[in-house]
A and B are shown apart, each in its own frame.
Chain A
Amino acid sequence: DTEVTQTPKHLVMGMTNKKSLKCEQHMGHRAMYWYKQKAKKPPELMFVYSYEKLSINESVPSRFSPECPNSSLLNLHLHALQPEDSALYLCASRPQVQGAYSGSPLHFGNGTRLTVT
């Protein structure tokens, strides 16, 4: 069982579609993450939200648009994606503490497997 819930588990979309990935956690974690993982590669950081504010954007193309509507929810809006964007999209959270380093590990959801046709 995972305490971070991602929906949907699988998504197939065309290049002209608009879709959203959703992530929810109720552990009181105030740092939330989106990672992208291609086959046989490690997770690659996309975005980090800290206290519902975007704190890191790893130069992700604008066709990916993150949103953090409240402390429990994290969305990733998708528009005009390319076939090479097909990947496993992982949401993660962890406690946010004051100071430069948290020292807390990431808790991952099961991921959304996205296929762009």
Chain B
Amino acid sequence: RKEVEQDPGPFNVPEGATVAFNCTYSNSASQSFFWYRQDCRKEPKLLMSVYSSGNEDGRFTAQLNRASQYISLLIRDSKLSDSATYLCVREAAGNKLTFGGGTRVLVKP
């Protein structure tokens, strides 16, 4: 099993709709998680860190479920500009940060 796994999608989302997707991880010792977005041919950009209690930043909500070993990202009121690949990142001990395969989201008018 891969360390960090994501549904590759694409998730085709009508503009204004809500979309949610998960990222599962295999190492229960993982401590920190992050969501990045990446646009085509650009570098990944931090979307949000994921805290144990869950956190929200505007239209974006991240949750961590340690018992089931997954994190989630929910996007409300989707905008065309939300179209991107969303990458989850897991921090392991010793500075190792591993990316999931990414989930592609396409928001359509």
Cβ-Cβ contact count across A and B, 8 Å cutoff: 60
- In the complex where A100-B31, A103-B31 touch, is A108 in contact with B44 (Cβ < 8 A)? yes
Kindly identify which residue among B32, B95, B100 contacts A31, using a CB–CB cutoff of 8 Å.
B95
User: What B residues does A83 contact at CB under 8 A?
Assistant: none
Whether, in the assembled complex, B61 has its beta carbon less than 8 Å from a beta carbon of chain A, the answer is no
- On whether the beta carbons of A43 and B31 are closer than 8 Å, the reply is no
B32, B43, B87, B102 — most chain A CB neighbours (10 Å): B43
- On whether the beta carbons of B95 and A102 are closer than 8 Å, the reply is yes
CA distance A2 to B98 in the complex (A): 21
- On whether the beta carbons of B32 and A102 are closer than 8 Å, the reply is yes
- On whether the beta carbons of B43 and A110 are closer than 8 Å, the reply is yes
User: What B residues does A55 contact at CB under 8 A?
Assistant: 94-95
Whether, in the assembled complex, A15 has its beta carbon less than 8 Å from a beta carbon of chain B, the answer is no
Closest to B48 in A: A105
- On whether the beta carbons of A111 and B43 are closer than 8 Å, the reply is yes
Closest to B96 in A: A56
Report the minimum CB–CB distance from A108 to chain B (whole Å): 4
B41, B91, B98 — most chain A CB neighbours (10 Å): B91
Whether, in the assembled complex, B17 has its beta carbon less than 8 Å from a beta carbon of chain A, the answer is no
CA distance A111 to B91 in the complex (A): 21
Report the minimum CB–CB distance from A48 to chain B (whole Å): 5
Task: Mark out the residues of chain B between 78 and 109 whose CB falls within 8 Å of any chain A CB in the assembled complex.
Answer: 87, 89, 91, 93-102
- In the complex where A43-B44, A109-B43 touch, is A103 in contact with B91 (Cβ < 8 A)? yes
Report the minimum CB–CB distance from B46 to chain A (whole Å): 5
Q: With contacts A102-B91, A109-B43 known, what are 4 further pairs, Cβ within 8 A?
A: A101-B93, A103-B32, A105-B34, A110-B43
Give chain A's interface residues, CB within 8 Å of chain B: 2, 31, 33, 41-45, 48, 50, 55-56, 88, 90, 96, 100-103, 105-111, 113
